[in-house]
């Protein structure tokens, strides 16, 4: 009994030490002090790639870089381009319900070099040659308190699924699953609530990858966890203050006419490097005249422990381009390439066209490699921007 007590005390002290070393990121204070962000704050070089696509790229574009390739994933589209020239290489997969076809594009997993797309019964993994190389079956999980939601790859063999607590009394939170849909481990929800309405909208979590680590942030929870097959390790405490959405009211968040969600921070994306933790979230300011929330982009500098946040959506405030003084960039969509320590985003062609029309004097001073951009038309595909990070 004495030995068990000693072991318990040791484990408790170890846990407390682990908890005490979690980094707190004060988003609330960064939000109060929202300021202009310069690209030079976090990047040292910009590269522009004009895409030469065979078909117009659709909405909801997300661009990934890997080796000599750019992987562009939009609504029911997955295109592969040459990273250096922008030349179209091939379309990966085909939209449809047939063998080897997908229903929607999902994301690119850099560790396995697989393009992941969804189907009704699960997910498909394509290699960069466009060949479907794996089928991942959704688990048949019975827990009446929730809804099976999105997933991400945990490693080359296993996936992690999020089980939304949509009805307030779900027991399971995360499921560790193999590609055949067999559940090997579950992690429980910490909280419950009594739903005030019959139907609630499923709000997906944020999954992101930092090297080989799989990270997770759940809506209405203020901790980013690292997920392994055996445990959840808290990594960051996201301090939101009064803007943290209350867990007990999550089923009411999107009820009209004035959605409660707009009062709080809803994180949509995270990305991490050895020095920086990038994020974006939506929120509607109390004095805003817009009917919908704005998008806020920011980052946490792990080296000097500071937060910077800029509103870059509704009021068109963008990230100031003080590197080459070309078009300011609105980071509404971005990904991180850990291998090359770079961030990938894009500029709409119409913004480039407008810049050339409005900046005749600056055009004369542009380097010669910008001349190709001057021939763009408003309805051309977006221009990929690759930022080399500090």
Domain assignment present for 57:
no
In which band, very low, low, confident or very high, does the pLDDT at 197 lie, cut at 50, 70 and 90? low
> Measured between alpha carbons, how far apart are the two ends of the chain, in Å?
54
Q: Is the pLDDT of residue 12 over 50?
A: no
Q: What is the extent of the structural domain holding 169? A: 110-129+131-257
- Non-local (6+) Cβ contacts of 104 within 8 A are 75, 76, 117, 118
Q: Is the pLDDT of residue 196 over 80?
A: no
In which band, very low, low, confident or very high, does the pLDDT at 15 lie, cut at 50, 70 and 90? very low
Q: 260-292: buried (b, 16+ CB within 10 Å) or exposed (e) per residue?
A: ebbbbbbbebbbbbeebbbbbbbbbbeeeeeee
Is the peptide bond preceding residue 257 cis, with omega within 30 degrees of 0? Answer: yes
* Between 114 and 248, residue with greater pLDDT: 114
CA gap 182, 353 in Å, rounded: 52
Domain assignment present for 33:
no
What local confidence, expressed as pLDDT, does residue 72 receive? 96
Q: Is the pLDDT of residue 49 over 60?
A: yes
Domain assignment present for 315:
no
CA 367 to chain centre: 33
Using only C-alpha atoms, the chain has a radius of gyration, in whole angstroms, of 22
- Non-local (6+) Cβ contacts of 171 within 8 A are 143, 145, 188, 189
Report residue 176 as tokens: 């560790």
In which band, very low, low, confident or very high, does the pLDDT at 316 lie, cut at 50, 70 and 90? low
Geometric angle at alpha carbon 330, from 328 and 370, rounded to 5°: 40
DSSP notation for 341-359: TEEEEEE-HHHHHHHHHH-
Average pLDDT on 194-203 reads 71
Calculate the average pLDDT of the chain: 89
What local confidence, expressed as pLDDT, does residue 13 receive? 40
Geometric angle at alpha carbon 27, from 148 and 290, rounded to 5°: 80
Domain count, the chain: 1
Domain assignment present for 296:
no
Average pLDDT on 333-360 reads 94
Average pLDDT on 376-385 reads 94
pTM for this entry: 0.91
Domain assignment present for 167:
yes
Highest mean pLDDT among 82-86, 201-205, 371-375: 82-86
Average pLDDT on 168-192 reads 93
Domain assignment present for 201:
yes
The percentage of the chain sitting over the pLDDT mark of 90, rounded to a whole number, equals 69
CA gap 111, 336 in Å, rounded: 12
Distances (CA, A) of 281 to 51, 148, 270, 331, 366: 28, 23, 9, 12, 34
Q: What is the pLDDT of residues 340-352, one digit of tens each?
A: 999 999 999 999 9
Average pLDDT on 274-289 reads 91
Average pLDDT on 181-202 reads 82
Domain assignment present for 53:
no
Distances (CA, A) of 243 to 222, 265, 377: 11, 6, 41
DSSP notation for 74-95: ETTEEEEEETTT-BEEEE-S-B
What local confidence, expressed as pLDDT, does residue 157 receive? 93
């Amino acid at each position: 009994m004495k030995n068990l007590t000693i072991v318990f005390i040791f484990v408790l002290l170890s846990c407390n030490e682990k908890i005490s070393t979690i980094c707190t990121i004060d988003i609330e204070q960064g939000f109060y002090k929202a300021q202009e962000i310069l690209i030079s704050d976090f990047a040292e070089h910009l590269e522009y790639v004009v895409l030469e696509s065979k078909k117009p790229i659709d909405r909801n574009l997300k661009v990934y870089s890997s080796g000599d390739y750019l992987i562009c994933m939009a609504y029911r589209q997955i295109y592969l381009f040459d990273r250096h020239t922008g030349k179209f290489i091939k379309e990966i997969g085909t939209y449809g319900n047939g063998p080897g076809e997908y229903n929607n594009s999902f994301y690119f997993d850099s560790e396995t070099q697989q393009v992941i797309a969804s189907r009704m019964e699960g997910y498909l993994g394509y290699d960069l040659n466009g060949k479907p190389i794996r089928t991942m079956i959704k688990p048949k999980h019975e827990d009446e308190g929730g809804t099976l939601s999105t997933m991400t790859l945990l490693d080359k063999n296993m996936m992690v699924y999020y089980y939304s607590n949509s009805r307030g009394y779900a027991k399971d939170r995360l499921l560790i699953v193999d590609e055949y849909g067999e559940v090997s481990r579950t992690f429980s929800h910490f909280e419950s609530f009594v739903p005030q309405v019959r139907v609630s909208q499923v709000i997906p979590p944020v999954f992101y990858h930092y090297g080989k680590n799989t990270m997770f942030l759940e809506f209405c929870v203020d901790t980013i966890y690292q997920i392994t097959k055996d445990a959840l390790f808290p990594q960051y405490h996201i301090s939101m203050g009064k803007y943290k959405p209350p867990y007990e009211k999550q089923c009411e968040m999107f009820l009209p006419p004035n959605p409660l969600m707009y009062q709080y921070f809803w994180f949509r994306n995270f990305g991490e490097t050895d020095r920086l933790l990038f994020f974006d979230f939506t929120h509607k300011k109390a004095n805003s005249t817009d009917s919908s929330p704005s998008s806020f982009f920011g980052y946490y500098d792990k080296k000097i422990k500071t937060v910077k946040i800029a509103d870059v959506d509704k009021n068109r405030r963008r990230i100031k381009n003080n590197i080459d003084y070309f078009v300011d960039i609105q980071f509404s969509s971005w990904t991180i390439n850990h291998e090359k320590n770079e961030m990938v985003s894009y500029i709409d062609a119409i913004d480039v066209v407008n810049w050339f029309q409005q900046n005749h004097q600056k055009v004369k001073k542009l380097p010669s490699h910008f001349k190709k951009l001057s021939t763009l038309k408003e309805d051309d595909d977006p221009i990929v921007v690759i930022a080399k990070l500090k």
